[in-house]
A = this chain, B = another copy of it.
Amino acid sequence: MKKAKRERLEACGWKVGTVAEFLNLTPEESALIEIKMALSRRLRERREKRMTQAQLAEKIQSSQSRVAKAETGHSSVSLELLVRAMLATGASPKEIGQAIAGNQK
């Protein structure tokens, strides 16, 4: 958030912080969630170029609804399913690693 915006909000009495702070997440918990969200986004990008959710679901022997949840970052979706889906789009371990690494950190 820009400093100016933060100051404007704080002047109005708002507490300003990250979602992680609001939810009292530890850095490790935040990092895990960011990893999953990064994979969700990349999965959608890759999948959209190649096939429908139903087609991807068939490849990983899952269902369209589960792929939709994977792409929307639903909490019921495991890291494992995200990675299996990425692999099924043709992603290499290297590409998956890059998605997880994100913009360093």
Contact = CB atoms under 8 A, between A and B. Distances in A.
Nearest to A98: B97
Interface string A19-59: 00000000010011011000000000000000000000000
Interface of A: 28, 31-32, 34-35, 78-80, 83-84, 87-88, 92-94, 96-102, 104-105
Contacts of A88: 28
**How many copies make up the complex?**
2
B93 A35 contact: yes
B100 A32 contact: no
B92 A96 contact: no
A3 to B, nearest CB: 26
Contact of A93 (B34, B83, B84, B96): B34
